[in-house]
Amino acid sequence: MKNIYEEIEQYIAGGETVATATVVRTQGSTPREVGAKMVVRPSGDIVGTIGGGCGEAEVWQEAMYAIKDGQRRTMSVDLTADVTLDTEMVCGGVMSIFVDLWEEREAEFLATINRAFKGSRKVALATPLSTDQARPRRLVLPDGHTVGTLGDDKTDALVTSQALEALAQGASRVVSSPREGPDVFIEVQVSPPTLLIAGGGHIAVPLTRMGTTLGFKVVVVDDRPAFANRERFPDADEVLAADFGEALANYPLDEQTYVAIMTRGHAHDMECLLQVVDAPVAYIGMIGSRRRVRGVLDLVKEEGCSEELLARVHAPIGLDIGAQTPEEIALSVMAEVVKARRGGTGRSMSHRGVGS
């Protein structure tokens, strides 16, 4: 899975100048958050989205103009129009979009961004919100290392400090220049979260496809080579044919890891759970009937695992949507994973009421 700047680097290497449309500010209810980005190529093809029909066509057109005339620009997309029969997708807010350009002369800087991203899995890119053709950029890594300058020490120091805060919070932001220059947009790029599926059975197949579609790095583990192979999981980023306990013990589990345990038996469930229950992962879910789940949790508790740790486990896994088929169960699982990642109640949106 390529990050957005790897895509841009590839296009630049092919001789293209591409535009990026980035949400830098929002007011009210908008389809995407600050930092959402869409890449527009000279052919008109796009990568990414800033919200689909909610103003995206207008932004696409401005990006095409920018590629042709070489002028960066800031634009506002107002989605607060009154709803009428002639109104297209109204979302209720305002987005400020910065249309930037990436050209061949920045190929080396793009390569630096991508090398840094692979090493740290998280970077911040500071870009002045200016139409100046020669305006600089600054790359900030979580360890404080920087590449590039915005023109003066005072601005560099402020932006670096703000970038480190943004990296810690995982959220992009706009920073006012300490001088009379343009505002600076600090864009935080974080590596995609990992969906680690323990068990290569029938539910894991659609779950892998859904995880990939939703932007996760998907890793499938099974101790049976007949179930853990590329033919069965062509969409997975990694397929590990290995002992469950050994594979999970050696895998780099972190706060960006979401674990779905769905092995063929309670002994393997227990083996997996013992490896991840006290790891700093974002989510742990385990499939099974309530009786099977309770039996596994009791066995893990007998091994010395505390009630506090066991309370982290979502079991049975998934949201209650009445799922029956493997595809429906996979959808239930991914819905809960997204809920854990993004927040929310899991209730029907219609229960919020109109205007809430």
Using DSSP's 3-state secondary structure scheme, residue 102 falls into strand
CA dist 244 and 355 (Å) reads 48
pTM for the predicted model, two decimal places: 0.77
Strand 173-175 and strand 184-190: the pairing is antiparallel
Q: Which CATH number does the domain 194-342 belong to among 3.40.50.720, 3.40.50.300, 2.60.120.200, 3.40.50.10440?
A: 3.40.50.720
CA dist 284 and 292 (Å) reads 16
Query: For the segment 227-262, what is each residue's pLDDT rounded down to a tens digit?
Result: 999 999 999 999 999 999 999 999 999 999 999 999
Q: Rounded mean pLDDT of 2-28?
A: 94
| Phi-psi region at 8: left, alpha or beta (left = phi > 0; alpha = psi -120 to 50) | alpha
AA identity, residue 19:
A
Q: Rounded mean pLDDT of 308-316?
A: 91
Q: How many CA atoms lie within 13 A of 285 on its CB side?
A: 25
Query: For the segment 159-178, what is each residue's pLDDT rounded down to a tens digit?
Result: 999 999 999 998 999 999 88
| Per-residue tokens: 91 | 């979302």
Burial annotation 271-308 (CB, 10 A radius, 16+ → b, else e) = bbbbbbbebebbbbbbbbeeebbeebbebbeeeebeee
Q: Rounded mean pLDDT of 327-349?
A: 94
Percent of the chain scoring above 70 in pLDDT:
94
AA identity, residue 236:
A
CA dist 221 and 236 (Å) reads 11
CA dist 79 and 57 (Å) reads 13
pLDDT of residue 53: 76
Using DSSP's 3-state secondary structure scheme, residue 147 falls into strand
Under a CB-based contact definition with an 8 Å cutoff, are residues 284 and 314 in contact? Answer: yes
pLDDT of residue 91: 59
Using DSSP's 3-state secondary structure scheme, residue 10 falls into helix
CA dist 238 and 113 (Å) reads 24
Q: How many C-beta atoms surround the C-beta of residue 190 within 10 A?
A: 17
241, containing H or E segment: strand 238-241
CA dist 172 and 174 (Å) reads 7
Phi, psi dihedral angles at 94 (to 5 degrees): -130, 135
Flag whether pLDDT at 31 surpasses 90.
no
Flag whether pLDDT at 278 surpasses 70.
yes
Sign of the Cα torsion 109, 110, 114, 115 reads: negative
Torsion of CA 193, 334, 294, 263, to 10 degrees: -80
Q: Where in the chain is the domain with CATH 3.40.50.720?
A: 194-342
pLDDT of residue 85: 43
